[in-house]
Chains A and B, each alone.
Chain A
């Protein structure tokens, strides 16, 4: 891989993505391997997480690594006033890789400047979540057999959703036909993300205008915790609901993805449709993260 750290989707090349997909295929049905035996992986989750933390934990165990760390700030010395830099220095001494989730934007990059061992960004504020983008793209790859040439739509909170930023950036390594960005005007994708994209992007507010063209509908939750102003949240919290009517207008083989957790933005009756792939998507998290660990920490011929 080009970079030892995985802070942004842009740290991975197109070849990196495909190599990780191939490895994920290989790791899909294995019970346990010893590829990372003797390695210690730190899970530094300064912000609450269930599925991301657990899937990283499972991936590490399945490759034979030992796992240390924490899953909330309260159980760490941060609660006593220790700064992030010192916590990273400490974990740096104990382990071979740090998987980090943190509420502040840019915290993963800051940690990578301090750490001698690889940092994997498991979500930094509203900035990026590159391993989720890996899972998203792997799901599309598994369903369609390819990523290039597809029409995408990202729906919901496109301003504060870090998974959206990472997915949009990851798509620069592929050749999407076009990407619709569907959001209320207050929650449009931030300019600094849009500026780096190299494929056609169309912003709109109404999913019904474009639903019939879409191969991949990526739905996000409007995240209360990211809003500084609660009044702003109240105005937009239920802007979109993906319901059976909307889904009935999709292409027959179009798919719906969601990084989860889902609240009200997808009607539960949609879960039973053939288009709903978000639980399948979640099931791919462990092999993808095993593949990434192997890429970052595994023995390689060029080492």
Chain B
């Protein structure tokens, strides 16, 4: 009998160098690709597995990208829509680094305040700044106009 992890490996082969983003909540892989700006025409070899079994989170998505590193800004954004995700850096088929993501306490300049009357949407120098109120469920508060935003608001901005 083939185990579920073996079955997943059969769907997507290992990559030599690059990044594997694992434990993405089921259905969010496309949003993760959107954060990374990957639309398909950039030339990266990308593998995507959606809705596979996970002991940790029930069902999950996995994204594998060859020859692509993920910077801090991208990692912070990924935490907002996939707080359970892990980022594995692969070199020569081996995981050389495993990063567990954490939602930052403060999020600067990454997302727009949805309030059109907020100063951050109306002055070229005013950078958006959110403070994390809760992680599960995700709730952020704009430091300027104090409006609350949720995970759905963040996803809406990304997609």
Contacts and interface: CB of A to CB of B under 8 A. Distances in A.
Q: Say if A and B assemble together.
A: yes
B126 A105 contact: no
Contact of A104 (B117, B125, B147, B148): B117
B118 A104 contact: yes
Contact of A105 (B118, B125, B141, B148): B118
Given A127-B146, A192-B141, A192-B147, A85 B126 contact: yes
Nearest to B142: A106
A110 interface: yes
Contact of B123 (A110, A124, A190, A193): A110
B147 A110 contact: no
Nearest to A109: B144
Contacts of A192: 141, 146-148
B115 interface: yes
Given A192-B141, A192-B147, A83 B118 contact: no
Interface residues of B, number: 19
A2 interface: no
A125 B117 contact: yes
B107 to A, nearest CB: 16
Contacts of A107: 119, 123, 144
Nearest to A191: B148
A103 interface: yes
A162 to B, nearest CB: 11
Interface string B122-140: 1111100000000000000
A126 interface: yes
A85 B145 CA distance: 17
Contacts of A124: 119
A40 interface: no
Nearest to A85: B125
Interface string A221-263: 0000000100000000000000000000000000000000000
A106 B125 contact: no
Contact of A228 (B116, B141, B147): B116
B120 interface: yes
Interface string B104-120: 00000000000111111
A109 B143 contact: yes
B146 A83 contact: no
A106 B120 contact: yes
A105 B144 contact: yes
Nearest to A84: B123
Contact of A127 (B126, B145, B148): B145
Given A104-B118, A105-B115, A105-B118, A110 B145 contact: no
B31 to A, nearest CB: 26
Contacts of B141: 192
Contacts of B145: 105-106, 125, 127
A103 B117 contact: yes
Nearest to A128: B146
A3 to B, nearest CB: 15
Given A103-B117, A105-B118, A106-B118, A83 B123 contact: yes
A190 B115 CA distance: 13
Q: Which 10 A/B pairs are nearest by Cβ-Cβ distance?
A: A106-B144, A105-B145, A85-B125, A106-B145, A106-B119, A104-B119, A107-B119, A110-B119, A192-B146, A84-B123
Given A85-B124, A105-B119, A105-B145, 9 more contacts: A84-B126, A104-B123, A106-B119, A106-B120, A106-B126, A125-B117, A127-B145, A192-B146, A192-B148
Interface of B: 115-120, 122-126, 141-148
26 contacts: A84-B119, A84-B126, A85-B125, A103-B117, A104-B117, A104-B122, A104-B123, A105-B119, A105-B145, A105-B146, A106-B118, A106-B142, A106-B143, A106-B146, A107-B123, A107-B144, A109-B143, A110-B126, A110-B144, A114-B125, A125-B145, A127-B146, A192-B141, A192-B146, A192-B147, A193-B146
